[in-house]
Amino acid sequence: MIPIPRQRPAFPQLAVLCPWCHSAPGELCTSHRGRRARRDDTHTARRTAWAINTATCPTAGCEAAPGSPCRSATTGLQLTTGVHAARDAAAERAATCTTHQPPLPANVTDLTTHRRNRGH
């Protein structure tokens, strides 16, 4: 069931500049001081930067807006090592179904309604 990449792997995170190796948007990450392209993956920092730019974090207590880094729901401190897994998944979804849904549908008001209904 794993889709076979055609000629080159298309990582959605290629849309952003890699903060680690400074590969330009659209170009693969490089290693060995830029002499080798990484074809199987990208730097984790790039994936993180992309997720931050692409999706709102759905994690309760974090809910970081696009462009803002995740923060810990318990300490309120920014996560320096990555984003919540749910945000990565949300960004992935946004990247794969852009034809039918905008990345940020207008259900932000639904969220507040949910919260109110759930409130104990």
Site for Zn ion, residues 15 to 74, rule: CB under 5 A: 18, 20-21, 29, 43, 46, 57, 59, 62, 70
Sign of the dihedral through C-alpha 10, 13, 16, 20: negative
Query: Residue 70 CB, nearest distance to Zn ion (Å)?
Result: 3
Nearer to Zn ion, 13 or 95 (CB): 13
Query: Residue 35 CB, nearest distance to Zn ion (Å)?
Result: 13
SS3 81: coil
Indicate the Cα dihedral angle 50, 55, 61, 62, nearest 10°.
30
Nearer to Zn ion, 80 or 99 (CB): 80
Q: Which residue has the tokens 């810990």?
A: 72
Distance CA 36, CA 32 (A): 6
Site for Zn ion, residues 86 to 115, rule: CB under 5 A: 87
- Residue ranges binding Zn ion (CB under 5 A): 18, 20-21, 29, 43, 46, 57, 59, 62, 70, 84, 87
